[in-house]
Chain A
């Protein structure tokens, strides 16, 4: 399991941990029922405050990605992949809405937008 913290990104460290653990769960690196490193250990290894890892785990728990049991540790929860995909789709849709709104206000046509999307995809 890999977690890299950036001090220059400006993104709060706890959110960086949340994002990376989520990604590890979704791509299958962390499997259902698997135990996560303890909050103390993660803080020690990453050399960050224990409060930061605690906050990250609390957020992951709140979002339903992990379960924590006092004295036992934190574990990856069974994921409802369907639900997650729906959520992702909603987010993508809202980003696309932003893009089309911007396009409208700048006088960019729908055809041009399609072209841009293709170009962006090719660029990746």
Chain B
């Protein structure tokens, strides 16, 4: 396994399309960790992932995967990473056994026994046509393929979206098992933050082609909070720690980025812990004075 600090390093990447711009984005996925990549539909998650994989070529910036250049060393990188898309990219008339034959030829480290084990664990039939699989089965098949060639980096685009909670939980557990050695890393995009809230080590929020916030998940969750107060009182709150303020007819909710200090400064007010969803929401409205 490679000797590198960050499994993914994205530096000042820009890509302009007609009507959409990936605007100078930067973030890192440290080796051994799960990064949650959070954003609304259309925020730029898939464009970022396609840029990583050099499916989309970027206008400027630098991308390094496994310590290597994403363009120059593309072939080496692609042997050592696995991708799961939200739609099954395999032909519907194949079955799981056919898939194994294809991957065996593509990946030097493909492990048929391990693949059979995952099929068994996921309850997937080896000889049934993929076209007859349910959505959950298709996703599990993609994941089984991704995990069966000793990939150092898993990149997943909305892989758990559309799956029921029981299956999602099972898959999250398998991902954590996969990372146990500390030598493998995962980038997982999702707009379902409850999954990431549990297992992600770090997160990056993207909106409208820009990275709003990135860092260790625990630290972000601990430092942010939602302060509740009246509309009148909201104006007198120290704005240096405020991210944005949400107003309703009966009061104001202010997201703050230094919960401990705010609780000390306003001991009479309630300051609730924030979820990843809350953080996303308040940062999306960051430049608005009082939104509802």
Residues of chain A having any CB pair with chain B under 8 Å: 10, 12-14, 40-41, 43-44, 47-52, 55
Further 17 A-B residue pairs, CB within 8 A, beyond A41-B180, A50-B179: A14-B218, A40-B181, A40-B182, A43-B176, A47-B172, A48-B198, A48-B199, A49-B34, A49-B200, A49-B217, A50-B32, A50-B33, A51-B33, A51-B202, A51-B218, A52-B218, A55-B218
Tell me how far the C-beta of A59 lies from the nearest C-beta in chain B, rounded to whole angstroms: 12
Cβ contact within 8 Å between B180 and A49: no
- Chain B residues with CB below 8 A from A55, complex form: 218
Check: B216 CB closer than 8 A to any chain A CB: yes
- Chain A residues with CB below 8 A from B200, complex form: 49
Number of interface residues of B (CB under 8 A): 21
Alpha-carbon distance between A10 and B259 when the two chains are bound, in angstroms:
12
Cβ contact within 8 Å between B176 and A51: no
- Chain B residues with CB below 8 A from A44, complex form: 173, 176-177, 180
**Chain B, 159-179, contact with A by CB distance < 8 Å: what is the 0/1 string?**
000000000000011001101
Tell me how far the C-beta of A48 lies from the nearest C-beta in chain B, rounded to whole angstroms: 7
Alpha-carbon distance between A13 and B199 when the two chains are bound, in angstroms:
12
Alpha-carbon distance between A118 and B151 when the two chains are bound, in angstroms:
63
Give the number of A-B contacts (CB < 8 Å).
43
Chain A interface, >50% SS class: helix
Alpha-carbon distance between A43 and B34 when the two chains are bound, in angstroms:
12
Check: B222 CB closer than 8 A to any chain A CB: yes
Q: Report the nearest A residue to B273, measured CB to CB.
A: A10
Check: B253 CB closer than 8 A to any chain A CB: no
Cβ contact within 8 Å between A13 and B218: yes
Check: B201 CB closer than 8 A to any chain A CB: yes
- Chain B residues with CB below 8 A from A52, complex form: 218
Alpha-carbon distance between A10 and B218 when the two chains are bound, in angstroms:
12
Cβ contact within 8 Å between A51 and B216: yes
- Chain A residues with CB below 8 A from B216, complex form: 51
- Chain B residues with CB below 8 A from A50, complex form: 32-34, 179, 182, 201
